[in-house]
Amino acid sequence: MTSETHEGGCLCGAVRYRVRGPLNPVAACHCRQCQRTSGNYVAATSARREAVGIEGEPRWFRSSKTARRGFCAACGSNLFWDGGGDRLSIHAGTLDAPARVALTRHIFCADKGDWYRIADGLPQFLGPDL
């Protein structure tokens, strides 16, 4: 087992989390749901569900038949995306520094907003990166 640990939380501090173990590389999701919940695209990493410990009480919103989104009920910070698999997605901007993760790809680019360009040279996928 790795000794790697990551911590993070919401803006007001009411919800904190700790990840024991590695995080996946960051993906930027440009889907309409991410745009609606964040005001832009979402950059997220993920970790094995059992490696994530959450302190405080995030509020969960069922955003589709297959997923829910976790946020702080006090300050509104978007924290998690939960697709029900063995991994929990974590909004990269909520990680404490140093995050020690890097953006590696863009997904759902077919839904990208028309107010920006993706010009970083990273791979772009029209749908999910599967």
Output the CA–CA distances (angstroms, integers) from residue 40 to 19, 20, 50, 76, 82, in the order listed: 25, 29, 29, 15, 19
- pLDDT tens track for 68-101: 999 999 999 999 999 999 999 999 999 999 999 9
Q: Is residue 127 part of a domain?
A: no
Q: Is residue 59 part of a domain?
A: yes
Instruction: Evaluate the CA torsion angle 8, 68, 26, 48 in order and state its sign.
Output: positive
Domain of residue 96: give its range. Answer: 5-111
Residue 130 or residue 85, greater confidence: 85
The reply to whether 117 falls in a domain is: no
**Would 38 be classed as within a structural domain?**
yes
Is residue 29 assigned to a domain?
yes
d(CA 16, CA 64): 25
Tell me which amino acid residue 15 is. Answer: V
Supply the DSSP symbol for 31.
Answer: -
Query: What CATH number is given to the structural domain containing 71?
Result: 2.170.150.70
pLDDT tens across 9-48, in order? 999 999 999 999 999 999 999 999 999 999 999 999 999 9
What is the count of structural domains for the chain? Answer: 1
| 3-class DSSP state of 64 | coil
Tell me, what's the pLDDT at 115? 95
Q: Is the pLDDT of residue 130 over 70?
A: no
